[in-house]
């Protein structure tokens, strides 16, 4: 707006040479175009860096035992039902699992339930298989102590966390369409 006003005043003040009167207004327009272009480029670059950081943060590497092979490390997106994973203190669980071996394993399932309490987990045995909650390790839970091995029973959208995420996204989409 200031550029247009400056151009009009310049033309009025210089009726014999309107181009001279347009110099200030034109320079304001050029400055605005440069500033907007540079800010847009910076914002775009920042958003791309943030998107890359979020992708990196979502990546989760996990130690897996497949067949008679030694432990290998893979991206959690490559896990399949039936894999046996290594669980250890401080790690986030990449999938729903049954603990088959373990010692002093305690998990925090706050990402799913909101409860910050540690839950003691026991390896599954023929005596406790009916009390599934104590043997089940849920995706997105964090192992606060202990170590062991677990059998993957659900991955991605088939896990409890994946189901919650899908239901939440569907609810958000439904609310957007109502608006």
> Any idea where the domains of the chain sit in the sequence?
2-57, 61-163
List pLDDT tens digits, range 26-56: 888 888 899 999 999 999 999 988 888 777 6
**Res 172 pLDDT > 70:** no
Q: Are 165 and 157 within 8 A, CB to CB?
A: yes
Which of 23-27, 100-104, 132-136, 156-160 is least confident?
A: 132-136
Bigger pLDDT: 136 vs 164:
136
Bigger pLDDT: 51 vs 85:
85
Q: What are the DSSP calls for the chain, one per residue?
A: -HHHHHHHHHHHH-SS-HHHHTHHHHHHHHHHHHHHHHHHHHHHHHHHHHHHHHHHHH--EEEEE-TT---EEEEGGG--TT-EEEEETTPBP-SEEEEEEEEEEEEE-HHHH----EEEE----TTTTT-GGGTEE-TT-EEEEEEEEEEEEE-GGGSHHHHHHHHHHHHHHHHHHH-
Q: What are the DSSP calls for 45-63, one per residue?
A: HHHHHHHHHHHHHH--EEE
Name the band, by pLDDT with cuts 50, 70 and 90, for residue 174. Answer: low
Bigger pLDDT: 54 vs 90:
90
Name the band, by pLDDT with cuts 50, 70 and 90, for residue 108. Answer: very high
CATH match for 61-163 among 3.40.50.300, 2.70.150.10, 3.40.605.10, 3.30.1360.120: 2.70.150.10
Name the band, by pLDDT with cuts 50, 70 and 90, for residue 132. Answer: low
Q: What's the pTM?
A: 0.61
Per the prediction, the chain carries an average pLDDT of: 83
Which of 1-5, 75-79, 175-179 is most confident?
75-79
Name the residue with tokens 């909101």: 114
Mean pLDDT of 11-22: 77
**Res 133 pLDDT > 70:** no
Bigger pLDDT: 68 vs 91:
91
């Amino acid at each position: 707006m200031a550029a247009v006003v400056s151009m009009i005043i310049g033309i009025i003040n210089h009726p014999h040479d309107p181009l001279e009167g347009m110099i200030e207004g034109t320079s304001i327009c050029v400055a605005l175009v440069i500033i907007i272009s540079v800010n847009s480029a910076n914002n775009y670059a920042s958003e791309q860096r943030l998107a890359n950081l979020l992708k990196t943060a979502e990546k989760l590497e996990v130690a897996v035992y497949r067949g008679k092979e030694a432990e290998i490390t893979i991206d959690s997106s490559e896990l399949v039902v039936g894999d046996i994973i290594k669980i250890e203190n401080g790690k986030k669980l990449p999938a729903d699992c049954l603990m088959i071996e373990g010692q002093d394993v305690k998990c925090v399932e706050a990402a799913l339930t909101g409860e910050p309490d540690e839950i003691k987990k026991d390896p599954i045995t023929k005596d406790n298989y009916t009390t599934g909650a104590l043997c089940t390790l849920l995706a997105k839970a964090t192992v606060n102590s202990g170590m062991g091995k677990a059998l993957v029973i659900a991955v991605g959208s088939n896990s409890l966390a994946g189901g919650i995420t899908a239901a939440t996204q569907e609810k958000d989409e439904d609310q957007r369409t109502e608006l």
